[in-house]
Amino acid sequence: MKAIVCVKQVPDTSGKVAVKPDGTLDRASMATITNPDDLNALEAALKLKDATGCEVVVVTMGPPPAEGMLRELLARGADRAVLISGREFGGSDTFATSQIIAAAVNKIGVGPEDIVFCGRQAIDGDTAQVGPQIAEKLHLPQVTYAADIQKDGDTVTVKASSRHCGGHTSVNQLELYDQEGRLLGDAVAYRDSRTQGMDAKLEQTMPFTELYRRTGIAKQPFNTVYQLMATPREQLDQAQDFLMIPDYLHYRLTGRKANEYTEASTTGMLNSVLADATARVQPPTDKGRRLKIYYMTQVGVKPPHFVIFCNDAKLFHFSYQRYIENQIRATFGLVGTPVRITIRQKGDKEE
């Protein structure tokens, strides 16, 4: 297990503050320190090292003199240090910085049990963007405003706090339960290495174009269909309930399992349903004019509200509208749910 800590060398604003004519900090004229929030991240990693014996690796992007900061952090207890340096990195914004650091962390290697620590924000920029961006680019689950971290077996529990709320969360995202309410296997993270290669495996059974037509799911390895694909078959055969993390927390608090979701569909999925429906039953005609349906989109969810654009709304007979409505209900599991359909002619504005 590794604890990878991202750190930054910043100007020491407690001493002399030098400013260039353009309003930016004159870093060359100022003393430097390790960003204070990053020292907090290192301390959390070292605490985890004391409890688990994990390796602590510190990583920074900066000029060659940042080596001195890394040596200081090694003296504080880190096991390894990595300096990412290059003239082409100068002036990087948060997007570029997170891209570079994420690439370095990926090169170091992030295993299923490894954790990446970042300080809340740097005192020179105060954006608090780089840490979350690194998590996104590495496809890792993230917890912000972390106050404490504990590892118990395969579960990492993070206590988080902010000005608005406090609490703790286990970094788990998907749980399966059998008929007796017993957890099947371990709760799994929304983004972890277990789903690697699952998209290619599923492609052998169902081409992605067909999967998208049926579900509208994006081809991202962390999506639910790939999580389930990576789950042992015997667990799926026994599974009676499926809970995402908000439903799981509700269950732990109340003892009642319930799934909360909102029905929303992509325009591509809706138009696929529309194409199948019109192929089975031709649109009506009136006095030699045939109804032409251009596309359908969803504009509301409570209740599900769909807008269909056509050449002439007067040709859209109520019986054909009911037919299309029934196809939508059958495809998206809306039987018994109120559905609103609005017919518009081409050129009308969408709601």
The band of 165, judged by pLDDT with boundaries at 50, 70 and 90, is: very low
For residue 41, tell me if it sits in a domain: yes
Q: Are residues 233 and 300 in the same domain?
A: no
Interatomic CA distance for residues 14 and 36, integer angstroms: 12
* Domain boundary, last residue among 140, 155, 181: 140
pLDDT digits (tens, 9 = 90+) for 274-320: 888 999 999 999 888 999 999 888 888 778 889 999 999 999 999 99
Annotate 158-170 with b (16+ C-beta within 10 A) or e (fewer).
bebeeeeeeeeeb
pLDDT digits (tens, 9 = 90+) for 228-250: 888 888 888 888 777 776 677 77
For residue 287, tell me if it sits in a domain: yes
Q: Are residues 104 and 13 in the same domain?
A: yes
Q: Look at residue 60 in the predicted model and tell me its pLDDT.
A: 95
Residue 48 near residue 63, CB atoms below 8 Å? no
Given a cut of 70, whether residue 141 has pLDDT beyond it is yes
Q: Select the more confidently predicted residue: 337 or 232.
A: 232
Mean pLDDT of the chain: 81
For residue 327, tell me if it sits in a domain: yes
Q: Look at residue 350 in the predicted model and tell me its pLDDT.
A: 43
Residue 119 near residue 40, CB atoms below 8 Å? yes
Position 128, amino acid: A
Q: Are residues 49 and 110 in the same domain?
A: yes
Q: Are residues 291 and 334 in the same domain?
A: yes
Nearest Cα neighbor of 35 from 89, 86, 80, 72 is 72
Q: Which two tokens stand for residue 109?
A: 């290697």
Interatomic CA distance for residues 169 and 15, integer angstroms: 39
Measure the CA angle with vertex 329, ends 325 and 333; round to 5°.
170
Given a cut of 90, whether residue 166 has pLDDT beyond it is no
Q: Are residues 127 and 16 in the same domain?
A: yes
The band of 351, judged by pLDDT with boundaries at 50, 70 and 90, is: very low
Q: pTM for this structure?
A: 0.49
Which helix (H) or strand (E) segment holds residue 248: the answer is helix 245-254
Q: Domain of 117: which CATH number?
A: 3.40.50.620
Q: Domain of 311: which CATH number?
A: 3.30.300.20
Q: Are residues 243 and 307 in the same domain?
A: no
Q: Are residues 218 and 284 in the same domain?
A: no
pLDDT digits (tens, 9 = 90+) for 5-53: 999 998 886 667 667 776 666 767 778 899 999 999 999 999 999 988 9
Domains in the chain, number: 3
Q: Are residues 42 and 99 in the same domain?
A: yes
The band of 113, judged by pLDDT with boundaries at 50, 70 and 90, is: confident
For residue 154, tell me if it sits in a domain: no
For residue 259, tell me if it sits in a domain: no
Mean pLDDT for 315-340 is: 85
Q: Are residues 38 and 86 in the same domain?
A: yes
pLDDT digits (tens, 9 = 90+) for 186-229: 666 655 677 888 888 888 888 877 776 666 565 666 677 888 88
Domain holding 232, by residue range, is 170-254
Phi, psi (5° rounding) for residue 280?
-75, -40
Q: Are residues 24 and 132 in the same domain?
A: yes
